[in-house]
Structure 1
Amino acid sequence: MEFSTSNSTISRPSTIMDHLSILRIVSLVIGLLFVRWIARGVYRVYFHPLSRFPGPRFSAFTRLPHLNAVRRGILHKHVARLHETYGEVVRISPDELSFIHPNAWRDIYGLGSKEDKGSAPPKAWGKYRNSPNGAYHLLNMPDPVQHARQRKIFLPAFSNRALTQQSPLFLRYANQLVSILKSGGVEGAQFDLIRVFNFTTFDIMGDLTFGESLHMLDNAEYDPWVKAIFQNFKRGAQLGLLYNYYPLVAGVFQAVMHKKVAQAQYAHLNFATSRVTKRLEKGRTSEGVDLWDLIFKQEEKGKAGLTRDEMDVNAGLFMIAGTETTATVLSGLMYLLCLHPASLAKLVKEVRSAFPSSDDITMESAVGLPYLNACIKEGMRMYPPVPIGLPHLTPPEGSTICGHYVPPGTTVAAPHWPMYYSDTIFRDPKSFVPERWTGDERYARDERAAFQPFSVGPRDCLGKNMAYHEMRLLLSKVIFHFDFELGPESDGDWFDQESYTLWQKKPLLIKVKTATGA
């Protein structure tokens, strides 16, 4: 008698054994990875060069708390809570330190500590994305020599002399803003000041950068380019988690989502490129006041110019850095003034007493209003347009920051919001008190040097003077012409917002009524 067996009968035990072997291998790999994670975490907590710095042990063990805060848009609050608990220097993740001492600005972003050990940390270039066309702009240029070259080219366009030439342009848009608020229909009409201020600042920068407005004030609608800019803030910050900390995962994501990611990256560049092309075709204009007119003048004098790719990426940068941030300060300050009627009344009295008519309000004349300047500073302290700290990386020789030697390869930053809300830096930090900037003795011990909304050093904000002039002018105009009252929809904690480098602002609904005699 013969016995026969089918192939399936023979192979079944072998298949089961194969599956068990695969499961054992997978379990072994997972177990080894888990052991490695634990071992690395223990090393980070107890033996890492940063183990002597204060901070929660779990944040030293793993960067998950930090990454979760970034993902949720609450990094500024997370870091502030850590500083409240652990002091002026905190280890916020395994290889990152945060400082809220006034000297941090000099030691991290300026020329470095006066102490001999180490040198000033440069930007953490691995956390700054390259431009799609391969060119570098002022914000992501790693070469200090090339950065200085670009900055030297643009500097005259942001000088006081240039701003004086550009004053009629700013006045035109300030007056258009007033006209729009006056045309709101019934007295006491409600406006979303976020939209109104964004329309104004983007139109101004469009004219300065390209010689042509984006016409958002005219159309009462966001330009498609601006819509794309706003949509990419949150997405860019969250994608940065992958690119900055998990490059292998980022590589897989890039391969799978390449078309979608590339489309978003090139959309902004293409908007800038098309407008720069249109502007360059005009050549020198008779007005001679926009950005390119001033650059053309330098080239005519034989000075080195920009490559075309550098023109495109810097133009795109200006449309972000010189617009949304200014509108943010204006919106936040109007919210604070509406919440504090006594401060608003004091500002109204100063502005309306200083100018017989609206025509007397200019960028030059608005400089001399002390309470207005104090309100702007206090507004930026309580609602800084960039609430987080911009990351720098200690060099191979390390750095000395606020008296602490920080070893090589450490990410360091001085975060605006946590510093400005620290009661070790400012008295009554959660209170809106413009008088702290006008010599009020109650606030004599405030660490005013800690307030650096435009950063410091060779890479500070190039448009600082322009931003102050623009904010003073626009605020003077609207304060002169209108009375304001916070709408019930915004009469809550409007500052309770997520932040992805920049704020994710909610509508700011304010009733606007034409002032008597304006």
Structure 2
Amino acid sequence: MASHSCPVVRHGPNKLTFNSAQALQGEIGPSRRFGYAGAHHFEVDIYNNDKIIKSHVYSACQLEPGVDSVFSVRDMNDHRRKRKLIGQALAERSIRTFEPLMVEQVDVFLGILARSSQSSTAVDMTPCCKRLGVDIIGLLTFGRHLNTQTNPRYRFMVDNLSWANYQSNILFQFPLLASMGVPQILYILSYAEFSKYMKQLENLVMGRLAQDRDAHHDLYSVTGGAFSTESPKGIQASEFWSEALFFFPAGARLTISPRVAMCILIGSEIGGDTASTAVAGLFFYLSRNPKVYKKLAEEIRSNFSKGSEIQGPRLARCQYLRACIDETLRMSPPVSGTPWRELRSGEDGPLIVDGHVIPRGTQVGVSIYSLHRNENYFSDPDVYLPERWLVEDEAVRSKMNSAFAAFSSGSRGCAGKAMAYLEVSLVVAKTLWYFDFDKAPGRMGWLGGGSPRNVGRRGKVDEFQLYDTFSSTHEGPNLVFRPRGDHWKEIGVTE
């Protein structure tokens, strides 16, 4: 990863990783101009201009050759069209309409915590948060209750996501492996699980298309049927299929082939992973920072008189909660790696990024994890400090925001940003209303942090450890919950 002392490194053959806000989205102040062969060229940022498009490696995420989702599409015009449609379902107004269903699922989550609190049983927050995320996405995408939080029937779908993203990321980072037979080997090894997974996804899609468009408030109803659902190849080649699976944490075509079965769509920035990683991460940092925990609990408990009030505009006005979320996303960004880009075909050179002339054919990107730890933008970057986001100095805030990329940047930024913030806010605020919690005693309480036996960042016990699979995998934290007075009885769980 690029470091503070080295703002650009060679990641691999024809791959450069940058570590600056200028490379990300343009820093405050005028762009620098360079003269070449009698012409003047301005340097550009990587994610916020039309000269640079998604790298060719995103083609590994196509569901069918030529069938792209809003995630994998490289053509700018096609992306704008798809993004406009997706944006209807993920706009704040639409999400507010969907909020009661989200609250319903969060209450199921709270019921699980309430039952664990009766026996002081430690709860591993990662699987709980992932199941909550999948249940919410099932309703938003297909209008279908999957009930993975309370019923093990469909949990195999949740359990397969990390493995599927890991396999996809192998091809995403090393696309030449596709021609070396690796996808075929992985396909053979996991055929049974993928077949089971794809069959269930097929049932979800076909079941939704069999209903009236307005039967549920979900992707299909909000977009007004604007996506194509018919083609000579059937539903697996339709736009609705690809976009529905982009909403869901992962997916592939209905008829599995060795090539496509391993090219699982990495839609987790909208699916469960972004929100579930943020929730688990926030619980981790709260359990290890008692002053932050106390301050956030006071904000929630002083602004509401009962748990049912925790939603809508009043929740959105909890500034310290938002600061805690942003600081968690800075410390442990759900997509912590490098989203690759390259110069668009037909563009005249040279391409200049942060003062570096980039030859055609070179992939470029910004290491999000490294940028979030860059001392040029964040003082004491290894310290969990939500107060940094509440400083009154506008120049300081602008500098931090210029380097904050938890949801990517520019027109390709995550369309599910508003949904992720709402889900995290609801889960954490409601939990703090009904419960107090601590990390589990003994070695169980270590889960989620680094090990003191390791060196470097893997040895940081107070940093939530993420493992890059384009999205992130993680474990823990293990927490023990205690009922807060009789408030927990509002949830409807009997002793």
Q: C-alpha distance in 2, partners of 1:169/1:154?
A: 19
Aligned-pair Cα RMSD in Å? 2.8
Q: Which runs of 5+ in 1 are unaligned?
A: 1-78
Q: Is the 8 A contact 1:363 1:472 kept in 2?
A: no
- 1:185, distance to aligned residue in structure 2 (A): 5.4
Which runs of structure 2 are paired with 1:5-44 in the superposition (5 Å)?
Answer: none
Structure-2 residue corresponding to 1:426: 378
Which runs of structure 2 are paired with 1:142-221 in the superposition (5 Å)?
Answer: 142-184=74-116, 186-219=118-151
Q: C-alpha distance in 1, partners of 2:21/2:4?
A: 16
Choose the corresponding residue for 1:317, options 246, 249, 252.
246
Are positions 1:350 and 2:279 aligned together? no
**Matched AA of 1:251:** M
Structure-2 residue corresponding to 1:103: 22
Q: Is the 8 A contact 1:209 1:291 kept in 2?
A: yes
Are positions 1:513 and 2:441 aligned together? no
Q: What SS does the corresponding residue of 2:52 show, helix, strand or coil? A: coil
Choose the corresponding residue for 1:498, options 463, 467, 470.
467
Which runs of structure 2 are paired with 1:274-289 in the superposition (5 Å)?
Answer: 274-286=203-215, 288-289=216-217
Structure-2 residue corresponding to 1:93: 12
Are positions 1:121 and 2:74 aligned together? no
After TM superposition, the structure 1 stretch with the greater mean CA deviation from structure 2, 178-187 or 200-209, is 178-187
- 1:382, distance to aligned residue in structure 2 (A): 0.4
- 1:197, distance to aligned residue in structure 2 (A): 1.1
Structure-2 residue corresponding to 1:463: 416
Structure-2 residue corresponding to 1:226: 158
- 1:227, distance to aligned residue in structure 2 (A): 1.9
Deviations 1:302-351 (A, max 9, x none): x5655542212222221112212210010011101110000000000000
Aligned-residue identity in percent? 24
Q: C-alpha distance in 2, partners of 1:399/1:263?
A: 46
- 1:261, distance to aligned residue in structure 2 (A): 7.3
TM-score (norm 2): 0.79
Structure-2 residue corresponding to 1:251: 180
Q: C-alpha distance in 2, partners of 1:337/1:117?
A: 41
Q: Is the 8 A contact 1:187 1:513 kept in 2?
A: no
More helix by share: 1
Q: C-alpha distance in 2, partners of 1:371/1:468?
A: 13
**Matched AA of 2:485:** T
Choose the corresponding residue for 1:366, options 315, 318, 323.
315
Structure-1 residue corresponding to 2:351: 399
CA 1:219 to 1:304, structure 2 compared with 1: closer, same or farther past 3 Å? Answer: closer
Choose the corresponding residue for 2:425, options 454, 472, 476.
472
Structure-1 residue corresponding to 2:330: 381
Structure number with bigger Rg: 1
Q: C-alpha distance in 2, partners of 1:455/1:338?
A: 28
Structure-1 residue corresponding to 2:168: 236
Q: C-alpha distance in 1, partners of 2:403/2:422?
A: 22
Structure-2 residue corresponding to 1:329: 278
Structure-1 residue corresponding to 2:454: none
Q: C-alpha distance in 1, partners of 2:43/2:383?
A: 39
- 1:183, distance to aligned residue in structure 2 (A): 1.6
Structure-1 residue corresponding to 2:339: 390
Q: Which runs of 5+ in 2 are unaligned?
A: 34-40, 45-49, 250-267, 451-460, 488-495
TM-score (norm 1): 0.75
CA 1:256 to 1:177, structure 2 compared with 1: closer, same or farther past 3 Å? Answer: closer
Structure-2 residue corresponding to 1:439: 391
CA 1:262 to 1:123, structure 2 compared with 1: closer, same or farther past 3 Å? Answer: farther
- 1:145, distance to aligned residue in structure 2 (A): 2.0
Q: C-alpha distance in 2, partners of 1:339/1:517?
A: 26
Structure-1 residue corresponding to 2:70: 138
Q: How many residues align?
A: 425
Q: Is the 8 A contact 1:497 1:504 kept in 2?
A: yes
Structure-1 residue corresponding to 2:289: 340
Structure-2 residue corresponding to 1:27: none
Q: C-alpha distance in 1, partners of 2:205/2:227?
A: 19
Q: What SS does the corresponding residue of 1:92 show, helix, strand or coil? A: strand
